[in-house]
Structure 1
Amino acid sequence: MERFRLHLLVGLLFSAMIAQAQIFGTVRGTVLDPQKLPIPGATVTLKARGSAWSVEATTNDAGEFSVPTVPAGSYTIEIDHMGFKTMSELLNLSIGSAPALIFFMELGSVKTDLEVTAALEITNPEASSPPVSISEQDILHTPGADRTSSMNFVTDYVPGSYMLHDHLHMRGGHEVTWLVDGVPIPNTNISTNVGRQMDPKDMQSVEVSRGGYSARYGDRTYGMVNIVTRSGFEFDREGELKVGFGSLNQTNDQLSLGGHSTKMAYYVSLTGSRTDLGLEPPTTYVLHNNGSALGGFTSLTYNAGPNDQLRWNASLRNDRYQIPNTYAEQAEGFRDIDSERDSFVNFSWVHTVNAYTLLTVSPFYHYNNSQYNGGLGDPLITTANRVSHYGGGQVTLGVVEGQHNFNAGLYGFHQSDDSLFRLEQTGVNPLTASEHIQPSGDVATVFLDEQYKPWRWITLNAGLRMTHYAGQVNENAANPRMGAALEIPRLKWVARAYYGYYYQPPPLSTISGPLLSFAVAEGFNFLPLHGERDHQKEVGLTIPYRGWVADFAHFQTDASNFADHDVLGNSNITLPLSIAYVRVRGWEGTLRSPQVWRRVRFHLAYSNQVVKGAGSITGGLINFVPPAQGFFYIDHDQRDTLSTGGEATLPWRTWMSTNINYGSGFLDLNGPQHLPPHTTADFSLGKSWREDWTFGFTVLNIANSRYLLGRDSAFAGTHYNDPRQVMGQVTYRFHY
């Protein structure tokens, strides 16, 4: 078995594998004259709206063109041909999509001023479950979203998403996959990290999916956050210096530099932040709760030739948190510290085989270090240090031709951990228990995925993802997935349905020896963890109307061995557990507007969901005793979640943005009762001065409302929301 795993890993890393860096889509179309005859030789220019990136294509004898390596985002398409009026339209391109567009050119002997029409493909009619797209402007203007450790750019726009015990949750779970320029950042440790992997200021755009995944995606499947990073095409040998300061002595600062030529683009940033409010406090006051972060990020894109592109990303980040205390804990001498380091490097070789075929090889490495150190004054001094190394690769061959959008590929990684658990009980009867383990595991995946359009108004999606996991247990999974999207003619409404299975590999964590004896003495036990297996069903409807887009979905996820976590006694060690069965059922809706009155944009995200569990604890830390029969609520359960807001462009290069968040209340104690509902409002105001200065002012939780997020939960403890925060920021742009 060891020899098989070694050969498999070597094959994944160094063989001629097939992988697609999943930030690209394909733009293809047909250019016709007023008599619906093809126009050969027309020049099609695709220009990014937020950067200097552009590409040209020429229509063939059938009037067709195809551009296979287009990063997801917003573009302007210009089509020019002698004897016809030059036309221009907008296109919103999603990751992995391949819209087949039709353009009609009008006769005309001279060029005319371009008039940009409404955006094409705003409903993403090919997706079984469309993602939520967040632009760079959304990130920079949403109140508090561009702070170094903020998740507002997700929670303010994605239905059913919220922060709970300092973890991002979507659709009732916190197993979320992060992808950087399409390359996944593997992390099987779902509970020991609260630090972020990237600063939002380094993001150009983000796509967030909650379900309906094609076979290209796997692992942590309650949410997929796919980040398109700033590449340097947004800069022309320019730099930005952002300096901010606010209440609770917080500051979020960044220096970034970038530039590009016709063949290369680069971007580099250095980020630093600190605050007196690092983590969700257990009380309404802030005590022993400092947090700080220092990090750097760089991106390099090099066009080696007309058919080859090289992309490289690297990140290094260090977070340090004081563990917040109550007054009693502060008086007893609790001084616990959590230090985290995270770094990753990924590389992609993107090769255009021909106009229809794309080959990408993406090796990656991820390092994660979490060190929890109890203070010397703690009655029970806790040490929980873990170092994880992940090395692997992703490779996919994508073919877009005619009615087919086909992908086949491999994905895998090897994980090795080095973990130290130590408990030292002080006082009259001192006791020490420690354990040093070095577990390892492998994940290997093969997938096939096909998107077929028998007619323009219907898209069929089907795929198969097969995974082998070897670690503390050995498991195999074959997960079929299928879906359909039907575009209703004239109305342009899109009805969709999805049915699929997922597998999520388990963490490597385990305990034995003296530490297990301590756990047993405290009334706990520890069983081997198995992978989570999910079954998801979803139906939905997307309704566009004059630039407005409303989307509705109903889903149900049935999970076996649902991954969660618990706390070992009063030691502050968080260890994973799995629940026999969890069902998440809900309704979701989003609404996005165009620019109304040329000044105002609105957004709304609503979710109604129920998260219930049944059965026993099947793996990990065991101390929670579920009801003898029937369902019980999971601590992630919140029935109603609403986020709505808007942005207004004001005179004198000024803008204003607001957001309101409502929640019906999370589980109280172990249920079934829930905490009271809560509402907060945020506000931002910004102004640009000349071409090189921008000033911003932000207030979060304007009314300073305080409420419990959870109280004495068996899974997560007690947490309150953050108090009011007032911040100011200055941005200076310069050339070098």
Structure 2
Amino acid sequence: MGRHRLFAAAASAALLSATLVAGSAQAAADKGPEVSEIVVTAQRLDAALQTIEPSLGATAFAMSQSFVTNLPGGANTQLNQVILQAPGVTQDGFGQLHVRGDHANLQYRLNNVILPEGLAVFGQTLSPRLASNIELITGALPAQYGLRTAGIINITTKSGFKTGGEASIYGGGHGVISPSLEYGTTVGANSAFVSASYTDTDVGIESPDGRARPVHDHSQQGQVFGFFDHIIDDSSRLSLILGTSLQTFEIPNTPGLHPDLGLTVRGQTDDLSDGLNERQREGTSYAIATYLKTTDQFTAQASLFARYSTLSFRPDGLGDLLFAGIAQDARKQDAAAGLQAEGVYNLSDAHTLRGGVVVQGDRATSKTSSQVLGLDANGDQIGDTPLTIADQARRTSWTYSVFLQDEWKLADSLTLNYGLRYDALSSFRKEDQLSPRVNLVWTPADGATLHVGYARYFTPPPYELVASETVAKFVGTTAEAPGSANTTPYSERTHYFDIGAQQKFGGVTLGVDAYYKQIKHMLDEGQFGAPIILTPFNYDQGYVKGVELTAAYERGAFSTYANLAASKAQGKDIISSEFNFDPADLAYIAGHYIYVDHDQTYTASAGASYRWGGTRLSGDVLYGSGLRKDGAVPNGGKLDPYTQVNLSVSHGFEDGALKGVSVRADLINAFDEKYLIRDGSGVGVGAPQYGPRRGMFVGLTKAF
């Protein structure tokens, strides 16, 4: 009941806020011309903001609000499902995404401001509902982008410059029920946009056995978001972003299993897996305050950002001990805050200078309490009363970044963007790197663009996930690690090469992009142990290479897109967090390149939408050739390929008593293809996970 009250309170607060703002808007209803002037000023300031951080030379895939609406599920779907429509994005279990062969290494931004990483594993902190545009930026990135470089996911939030909102209810298959509310308005020089949503579902995490409704997989998820903007004058403004999310998950069970470790706990030797009761809770709150100033020659933006996240795992005391030899209660907290200040100066018609600085601090706390059983020198159990091992750690990390670059227009059709970026890490290790960046962009004819680029990247391990557990405490117990070496993870260092071309003619856009990454201390992540918390580790050497093909067409009421990507990612010699791995695997990998567990050779996505009057028909397709699994060597095999088809139909009433009402019906995995995302084998892979089974969902929305 406590969680229900919390979600209800959050939604009520958002509704109250929207109501108060709406009341203020009604009081200012006679100020139409003044509001129009404010909107024009805001649009000009938005355009000035874009000049600070253009993705010149990189590869960008934009997904507008209408793109999201056209997808089956629309704004009710999770953000990771939207991003899967972009080229080179591979799905994994727990909602994880892999872009161009990287495990994670994604940076999320709101209105170009960095949102620090948090502790979420299953939960989605951000919702497509708050976005007016979602852009995935990849390739040889300009110098303003750093630390997380596989992909920049920049979300342009909705604003309150269009007064109005909507309330909706959505649900159907898999026990899903999801109410939501959003509203925006402008009052004088102030605007606001707020949204709130809640989801209750019986499939919170991917099914471990392929069932449409897994055993013990209930989840509750709530999100609240607010954007507030104040126009100071025609050249400056202040804005504030506030958000929070809270998710609770039951860890799903594979029914019909019995323990096979031969352990005894307080006289009991058996426990059916159906009744296991593991749970995980994740929460995140974030805030961003921004000041923007622009003149004819200079534009600058300074932002303060903060994020606080928590993660807790509650085990099944008896069951976890019998099945895994450890029942661990784990609690993690991470608080991050920082400053991002950037600017652009138009030096001349040929040269545009950009520079900036980013400073971020993290404070992480980890506490675990583990129930284990003692073992003698021969590995036999000593007694059946569990031992308690407590472990905790508190640590602080700082990152410092500065960049300077010049956009040099060599000719009307030829631009060179070059610069330097310096990153320093003071954390588990003290590391730094000076990283050159260069991109050449040529537009030989209308609609044609060619680019070639090089970037040096410096990627610290995800600080909040670095294991803090004391390995020696578990020696002589049922939770003793396979090894004892526990080298602290290193920062990844990459040479990145990218070349691509794009051609537009009529309503058609075609693109091709190829890349190669040579990597020192290649980062990866794995799930080790019962708590569903990922742990980073390094391969000493690694590489990723691939090519992406894209196509899009839009004419009138019809639009379509298709993406195809081929990739190969391999690493050699695991050199950190070694205690998690089987010694035989470590010995083999030390002398051989192996596929990383998240490698997928072919990935494709496609979609189409057609609007006829107030009715819209749409669909999308996801294809994957299969992630890796163990074979004759670690990660030597691959799972079977899959194709998931999703369909949607919606209708908006434009006249009469139902004006402002829209209805939709979505069919997810229309052909009910039962496919594995993971089979539970592979380096750093935990339990099996299946893709979603067929589900029918309906929604009703009322605009106001």
> Which interval holds the TM-score relative to the shorter structure?
0.7 to 0.9
The one of 650, 659, 662 aligned to 2:620:
659
Contact 1:162 1:170 in 2 (8 A): no
What amino acid is the match of 2:457?
A: Y
Q: Deviations over 1:285-304 (max 9, x none)?
A: 21111121112100011101
C-alpha distance in 1 between matches for 2:114 and 2:417: 22
Report the CA distance shift for 1:188/1:248 in structure 2 as closer, same or farther (over 3 A): closer
For residues 237-386 of structure 1, the aligned pairs below 5 Å read 238-261=164-187, 263-285=189-211, 286-328=214-256, 331-332=272-273, 333-352=275-294, 354-378=295-319, 379=321, 380-386=326-332
Distance 1:405 1:619, change over 3 A: farther
> Which residue of the partner structure matches residue 152 of structure 2?
224
Partner of 1:730: 700
In the superposition, relative to structure 1, how do residues 542 and 318 fare at CA in structure 2: closer, same or farther (>3 Å)?
same
Q: Residue 629 of structure 1 is aligned with which of 591, 598, 610?
A: 591
Contact kept in structure 2, 1:188 and 1:507, CA below 8 Å: no
Is 1:606 the counterpart of 2:606? The answer is no
Amino acid at match of 2:534: T
Superposed CA deviations along residues 30-52 of structure 1, whole A, max 9, x for unmatched, are xxxxxxxxxxxxxxxxx99xx99
Q: Counterparts of 2:543 and 2:698 in 1: how far apart (Å)?
A: 43
Measured after TM superposition, the shift of residue 355 of structure 1 is 1.0
Asked whether the 8 Å contact 1:604–1:644 carries over to 2, the reply is yes
Q: Classify the secondary structure of the residue corresponding to 2:670.
A: coil
Aligned pair in 2 of structure 1 residues 356, 620: CA closer, same or farther (>3 Å)?
Answer: farther
Question: Equivalent residue for 2:483?
Answer: 524
Residue equivalent to 1:698 = 666
2:429 equivalent to 1:473: yes
CA contact (8 A) 1:165 1:716 kept: no
Q: Which moved more, 1:669-678 or 1:263-272?
A: 669-678
CA distance in 2, matches of 1:483, 1:334: 54
Is this contact kept in 2: 1:310–1:350, CA < 8 A?
yes
* Mapping of residues 538-549 of structure 1, within 5 Å: 538-549=498-509
Mapping of 1:476-515 within 5 angstroms? 476-490=432-446, 492-508=447-463, 509=466, 510-512=468-470, 515=473
For the Cα contact (< 8 Å) 2:337–2:361, is it kept in 1? yes
Deviations 1:365-409 (A, max 9, x none): 111111111123332322121100001110012113522232111
2:506 corresponds to which letter in structure 1?
A: R
Contact 1:136 1:205 in 2 (8 A): yes
In the aligned structure 2, how far is the partner of 1:342 from the partner of 1:211? Answer: 29
Query: How far off is 1:71 after superposition?
Result: 7.2
Aligned to 1:583: 543
SS at match of 1:530: coil
Q: 1:68 touches 1:357 (CA, 8 Å); kept in 2?
A: no
2:84 matches 1:169: no
Pairing partner for 1:681 from 645, 654, 661 = 645
| Counterparts of 1:179 and 1:135, CA distance in 2 | 16
Tell me by how many angstroms 1:281 deviates.
1.9
In the alignment, which residue of structure 2 is the partner of 1:716? 685
How many angstroms does 1:181 deviate by? 1.2
Q: 2: CA distance between counterparts of 1:395 and 1:175?
A: 22
The equivalent residue for 1:127 is: 56
1:212, CA displacement in angstroms? 1.9
| Contact 1:384–1:573 (Cα < 8 Å) also in 2 | no
**Deviations, residues 138-175 of structure 1 (Å, cap 9, x unaligned):** 11221134225342221013333434442121111212
Matched, 1:462 2:418: yes
Does the 8 A contact of 2:365 with 2:393 survive in 1?
yes
- Equivalent positions of 1:431-442 (< 5 A) are 431-442=387-398
Q: Distance in 2 between matches of 1:628 and 1:245?
A: 50
- Between 152-161 and 315-324, report the one with greater CA deviation: 152-161
- Give the alignment partner of residue 419 of structure 1, picking from 362, 366, 370: 366
Query: 2:65 matched to 1:96?
Result: no
SS state at 2:597 partner: coil
**Which residue of 2 is the match for residue 70 of structure 1?**
47
Instruction: Give the secondary structure class of the aligned counterpart of 1:152.
Output: helix
SS in structure 2 opposite 1:151? helix
- 1:684, 1:69 → 2: CA distance? 33
TM-score (norm 2): 0.84
Query: Aligned to 1:416, what secondary structure does the other structure show?
Result: strand
Taking the aligned partners of 1:336 and 1:70, their CA distance within structure 2 comes to 49
Partner Cα distance (2:133, 2:52) in 1: 11
Aligned to 1:6: none
The separation in 2 between residues aligned to 1:351 and 1:638, in whole angstroms, is 45
CA apart distance, 1:673? 2.2
Q: Distance in 2 between matches of 1:575 and 1:515?
A: 18
- Kindly provide the amino acid, as one letter, of the partner of residue 310 in structure 1: L
Instruction: Quickly say closer, same or farther: Cα 1:94–1:701, change in 2 above 3 A.
Output: farther
- The unaligned stretches of length 5 or more in structure 2 are 1-34, 258-270, 374-382
**2:524 matched residue in structure 1:** 564
Residues 16-95 of structure 1: pairs in structure 2 closer than 5 A: 53-55=39-41, 69-70=46-47
CA distance in 2: counterparts of 1:269 and 1:434, whole angstroms: 41
Alpha-carbon shift at residue 497 of structure 1 (Å): 0.5
Deviation at 1:95, TM superposition (A): 7.9
CA distance in 1, matches of 2:419, 2:470: 40
User: Alpha-carbon deviation of 1:630?
Assistant: 2.9
Residue 39 (structure 1) aligns with:
none
Q: Quick check: 200-209 or 709-718, which moved more?
A: 709-718
AA paired with 1:502?
Y
Q: Amino acid of the residue matched to residue 609 of structure 1?
A: S
Deviation at 1:248, TM superposition (A): 0.9
Contact map agreement 1:460 1:485 (CA 8 A) in 2: yes
Amino acid at match of 2:193: Y
Change in CA separation of 1:571 and 1:371 when aligned onto 2, cut-off 3 Å: closer
Alignment RMSD: 2.4
Contact persistence 2:328–2:530 (CA under 8 A): no
SS of residue paired to 1:413: strand
Q: Secondary structure at the match of 1:377?
A: helix
Contact (CA 8 Å) 1:245, 1:252: kept in 2 or not? yes
Work out the percentage of aligned pairs sharing the same amino acid: 20
Following the alignment from structure 2 to structure 1, what is the Cα–Cα distance between the partners of residues 358 and 81? 30
Q: Which residue of 2 aligns with 1:106?
A: none
Corresponding residue for residue 391 of structure 1: 337
CA deviation map 1:625-645 (0-9, x unaligned): 243533111111111111111
AA aligned to 2:306 is Y
C-alpha distance in 2, partners of 1:593/1:52? 35
Compute the TM-score of the two structures, normalised by the length of structure 1.
0.80
Structure with greater helix percent: 2
CA 1:130–1:507: 2 relative to 1, 3 Å: closer
Q: Counterpart amino acid of 1:601?
A: S
Matched, 1:139 2:101: no
CA 1:472–1:367: 2 relative to 1, 3 Å: same
Deviation at 1:489, TM superposition (A): 2.8
> Which letter maps to 2:641?
P
C-alpha separation between the residues in 2 aligned to 1:270 and 1:322? 23
Opposite residue 626 of structure 2, the aligned amino acid is: G
In structure 2, the partner of 1:3 is: none
Higher alpha-carbon deviation: 270-279 or 137-146: 137-146
